Amino acid sequence: MNDLYPLLFSPVLKDYVWGGRNLELLFDRTLPLGIIAESWEIAAHPDGASVVRNGRFANQTLPQVHQQLGLELLGTNSQWAQERGKFPLLIKLLDAQQNLSVQVHPNDDYAQKHESNELGKSEMWVVLHAQPDAAIIYGVTEGTTPDKFRQAIADGKLEPYLHRVSVRTGDVVCVPAGTLHAILGGTVIAEIQQNSNTTYRVYDWNRKTTGKPRPLHVDKALDVINFAQVEPSLCQPELVSDEEGVKQFRLCANRYFVTERVEMAAGSEWHGVCDGRTFEIWGCVAGTAVLNHTPLPAISFTLLPAALGPFTVQAATSATLLRTYVM
């Protein structure tokens, strides 16, 4: 008998300098006092592992569950991750009350060589909330070269080489490894990423914390920045299907994950199956849904083990969900 079920987690909270209180103010979450910058919703990293809060795996960390279930959790499409002993993805919420640093992430090969067998980090963002003037840094401007870029960092005047893009609620940003980027103040973002915490900071707006600037990682950053990514455009969702009150859009697809947006009318249903090939992560970002009797209010995420079998998502109200899996 299959006793697997949708897993719910208690998140890991991070108090980085740029955070705020919007996860509580906007999404009716109870937070501890102080700055909350990130909520690691589904995480299996040495820097933070989320804890199961339902069913027979309750009070165990995601790495502990992975150790017990192996490919029953991951699926055969993630055999490479199983061989490296890693859960492949990490799901976050970010509250950017202030600008994040301008940064870049390495790919798998560079990270494995230089960061003690860490995964690289390709990621994608869904903007859950944006103030009217919200923006991001996304790629470099026309005419940027590595030499000009390095000199501008030394001079503390990098802004002319940063491609600034306005964003609004609902926008989607695909951020492959090597993309120069920064989330700027005034946004709350859902982030789906490889299971990595490696960031090369190249510019921190000349900000000081505890009287000192935060460390930069200029040499490694210049090794991995894709300077051919000149003034890229935001991702445009692709309509995949529109049937019986359910619209399915593909938001981002790469070798590590696929993320879709599923828009459901009240009372509609989605029928799926985890047949052993891939786990699925479903997150409700608006409205209320139920997945195999597991309530999913906004904003919450659940992990479906690859060997779960059939499942049904029902929209209790009109609802918007994010669906992530591995091809």
At 2 the pLDDT is: 83
Among 116, 52, 49, CA closest to 84:
116
pLDDT in tens, 254-296: 999 999 999 999 999 999 999 999 999 999 999 999 999 999 9
Q: How many CA atoms lie within 13 A of 312 on its CB side?
A: 8
- Active-site hit among 56, 164, 168, 201: 201
Length of the chain: 327
At 240 the pLDDT is: 97
215-243: buried (b, 16+ CB within 10 Å) or exposed (e) per residue? ebbbebbbebbbbebeebeebebeeeeee
Q: Does the active-site annotation cover 201?
A: yes
Among 171, 144, 109, CA closest to 228:
144
Residues in the chain with pLDDT values less than 70: 1
At 263 the pLDDT is: 98
- 3.40.1010.10, 3.40.50.200, 3.40.718.10, 2.60.120.10: which CATH number matches 9-224? 2.60.120.10
Fold of 238-325: Jelly Rolls (2.60.120)
pLDDT in tens, 84-128: 999 999 999 999 999 999 999 999 999 999 999 899 999 999 999
Tell me the chain's radius of gyration from C-alpha atoms.
Answer: 20
**What are residue 209's DSSP bridge partners?**
212
Concatenating the DSSP letter of every residue in 275-310 gives -SS--EEEEEEESEEEETTEEEESSEEEEE-TT-EE
pTM of the model: 0.96
Q: Where are the domains of the chain?
A: 9-224, 238-325
Concatenating the DSSP letter of every residue in 146-178 gives HHHHHHHHHHT--GGGEEEEE--TT-EEEE-TT
Same fold? 9-224, 238-325: yes
At 210 the pLDDT is: 78
Distances, alpha carbon 71 to alpha carbons 64, 126, 166, 308, in Å: 13, 28, 41, 11
At 1 the pLDDT is: 54
By the 10 Å C-beta count (0-12 exposed, 13-18 middle, 19+ buried), 17 is classed as middle
C-alpha span between 20 and 252 (Å, rounded): 28
